[in-house]
Structure 1
Amino acid sequence: MNRLRLACCLASVALLTAGCTTTTDIPQPAAVGVLAPQSGPDAGWGVDAVNGARLAVDVVNDDHPDLPLPLAAGTGLPGRGGARLSLAVRDTAGGSEAAAAAMTALAEQEHVAGLVLAGSTEIAEAAASQAKRLRVPLLDARSTDDYLTELGIDWYFRTGPSDSRLAEAAFALLARRGADAGGITLVTEAGRPGSAAAVTNLRDLARRAAVPIGTSLTVRAAAPDTAQLRDRLAESAGHTVVAWAQTAAGAQAVSDAAGQTEPRPTLFGLGQGFRLLERPDSGAALLRAVPWSADLAGRDPTARLVAQLYEQRYAKPMSAVAADAFTATMALAAAVDAAGSADPAAIRTALRRTSLSAVQMIMPWDGVRFGDDGQNQFAAAVVEQWQDRGYRLVYPIELASASARWSSPEPKP
C-alpha cells in the first residue's frame, strides 16, 4: 500500500470514529410518583386524581404556548436538558399499609424525584413520616387538617388550603350576613383524626369573626343516627348549621338530618367529607368552603383551557380532586426543573424556593409559596352553594356568579 492510500484509509477511520462519538446524549426522563386509591370505595375520585396528574405531565412534555402555566411552553424540562417528565402510579387502596408499600416501591425501585399524594388524613400523616425516612419530597394534594403541618416533617408539603383557611372563608361570609339570634349550631364528626383540634379551632375562628355558637353537636359516620340529629337540630335556636366532616358518610348524615329538619336550616359544610359530597340529595341549603370551584374555573381563561383539555382526554368534566392533583404535580415539576438534578434533597430545597404567581394557576389562589412548615401560604378558599342543580360560587363577592340563599329570613340591621 502506497503512502497516499494509507493516509486516505487512516483519514476515513478517523472520520468514522469522530462520527460515532459525537452523537447527542438523550436526557433521561424525570420520574414523579402519584399515590391515590385505584381500588376500594374511593377509587372513583382516585382515578380523577391520577388523571389530573397525568394531564399535568402532558402539559410539561408537550408544547402549550397558549397556557401561562410553568413549563407549558416548549417541551420537557429545560432545567434538565429537555428531559421528559414521566409518571409512576401506585394504588393506596384507601389504606395506610398499602400506601406505605407503594411509597417504598416508588422511592427505592422507581427512584422518583418526588411524590404527589391524594388520600385521607390518616394516609397523609403516615405518608409524611415515611417520606422523611425515605428522604423523598411529598406533596399532599388533598388533606386539609391543620395538625399535619404542625408535625415538623420537613419533607412534607401541602399545596391546598388548611381547614383554618377554609373555615375563615365560611365565617367571613356568615359575619357579612349577620349572626343568628341564637347563634349557629356547630356539628362535628367524632372519632376522626384531629376531631378535637378541629372543634377547638372552629370555636376560635368563630369567636374572632364575631359569629356566636349557640349549640354544639357531634355525629358518628360509622353509625349515624339521622333521626336523633334531626331532632337535636330542631331543638337548637340557630337557623345556621356549621358542620365539619372528614368522610362522605359523615357529611351525608349531617346533610340528611338538616334536610329533614323543620324549619330547614342553612347548612355550611367544612372538611373533606363535604368536598366529596357531589350533590346534597336531602334538599339542604348547602354551602361549602372549597379550594377550587368548577363554576369559577369556567370563567377563568387558564382554568377553562385546562378543563377543556381534561374533558377532551378523559371524556368527563374536570373535578375538584383532579384540579388538586394537577396543581400539586405542576408545582413538583417546577421544583424538579429548578433543581436541575434528580437528587431528592435538591428538589426539596427547590420546593422551599418555589414561587408561582396567581396567573400561573388554575386555582383561585394567590399562587404557590411554601412556608417553613410546608404549607402553601398563598392557598385560598372560596364558598359555593348548591343552587338549581349545580354548585354556584357565592363568595368572595367579587368572584361570585350568584348570591347566597339563606333558609331563614335575613336578620334585621
Structure 2
Amino acid sequence: MTLTHKLLLASFAGGFSLAAVAAPVTKQQVVEHYADIAHAVYADSLSTAKALDAQIEQFLKAPSAQGLEAVKQAWIAARVPYQQSEVFRFGNAIVDEWEGQLNAWPLDEGLIDYVADDYQYELGNEGAAANIVANRTLTIGASSLDVSTLTPELIAELNEVGGSEANVASGYHAVEFLLWGQDLNGTKPGAGQRAYTDYVVGDGCTNGNCERRGQYLKAATELLVKDLAWMENQWAGNVDGNYRQELLQAPSDTGLQKMLFGMGSLSLGELAGERMKVALEANSTEDEHDCFSDNTHNAHYYDEQGIYNVYTGLYKRTDGTLLSGPSIADLVAQNDEQAAKTIQAQFDETRNQVYQLVVSAEQDNQHFDQLIAADNAPGNKLVNDTIAALVAQTGAIEQAAAIVGITNLSPDTADHEF
C-alpha cells in the first residue's frame, strides 16, 4: 500500500460522519463547496504536472536509469489528483470538451514513436504508423503535414489527425507511452520497458531519434501544464467571467443536477462500462486505461475516490490537508437520516471494493491486465464484483438525487447494459 493510499484511507476511515453536521446546509452552499473542491483538485493536478515537467527537464539534461525512474514516479504522482478530477467531467460540458486533449485513450501509439512489428492498431487508421518522432513530414491520407518543429501547439493540432480518435498525440497517455514504451506482455506480468537510452543524444542512443524523442516528451508535458492551468483558472474564486461564476449564478438545483449526473455517469457508463466491462468482456489489454505503465488499478481507484469526494464534501490534497465543507451527504441526512446511512454504507462498500484492485496489484502482483485474462477466473470475478459494486453505487446516487429533489437523473450508461 502506498503512502498516498494510507493517507486517504486514514482520512476517510469509517466513512462520512453524519453527527459532524452541526447546522443545516443549503443547496447553494453545497454547490459552492463543489466548486471549491474542483478548484483544489485542478490546482493539485497543475502542481503535480509542473513537478513532472521539471523532472523531465532534469532527466533530459543527463539521461540515466535512475532519472527515468524518477520521471515515471512523478507521472504516477500526477495521476492521483487528475483522476479525482474526472467526476467533474460528465456534469460540466466545459470539462468534457477539454478532457480529450489530456486523457484520451486508447491510442494508436505508432502515431508517436516506434512500435513492435506485430503492433495491433485500429483498422483503417492511416496515421497508426506515422511515427512523428522519426519523421519531419507526415503524409496521412491526402494531407501532408510539416512536423519538423515539435511544439505544444503542433502536438495539440495532431490529435485525431486523419479523422481517427485513436490518433492521440497529447495528454497523460502520450507521455506515459514515451516513458514506458509499449507493454508487450499481454495478460502476463510486466509493464512497458523503454530504456533510458532512448533519450541519450549521441552514440549511446537506442532506437534512433533520441533528441527529437526528448523534444516530443518535453513539448507534450508543457502542453499538459498549459491545459491544466487553463482549467484551474476556470474554477478559481477570484476570476471574473469564468466557469465557476457561471455555475454559481445558475439555480442551485442546476448545480446539484450537474454534481449528481457527473457522479452517476462516471460510476456507471465510464468506470464500470468503458474502463472495466469493455476490457473484461474482450479480454483486451488495449482497452486498459493506464496500459503502458500498469497503473490502471490506481486510475480506477482515484476515479472512485473522486466520486466519493463530491458526495461527502471531502478532498485530501496532495500536501496532506483535508478540504471539507457542505455536501450532498449533508442534504440527504437533513431529509432522511436513515436513508443517508444506507447510502453512505453503499459508497463505503463500493470504494472498498474498487480498492481491492489496488490490493491485487500492489500486494498480490496481479495487475488489471492480468485480472482480465480469459483464463483467470478469480481475476475476472474480482473485476465483475467491482463492476457490480459500481452499479449498486449508481443506484445509491439516484436515490440520493431523489431525496434532495433531483428527479430523472438518468446517468449516462455509455450504451452498456448492466
- Work out whether the TM-score is over 0.5: no
Higher strand share: 1
TM-score by length of 2: 0.25
TM-score by length of 1: 0.25
When Rg is computed on C-alpha atoms for both structures, the one with the higher figure is 1
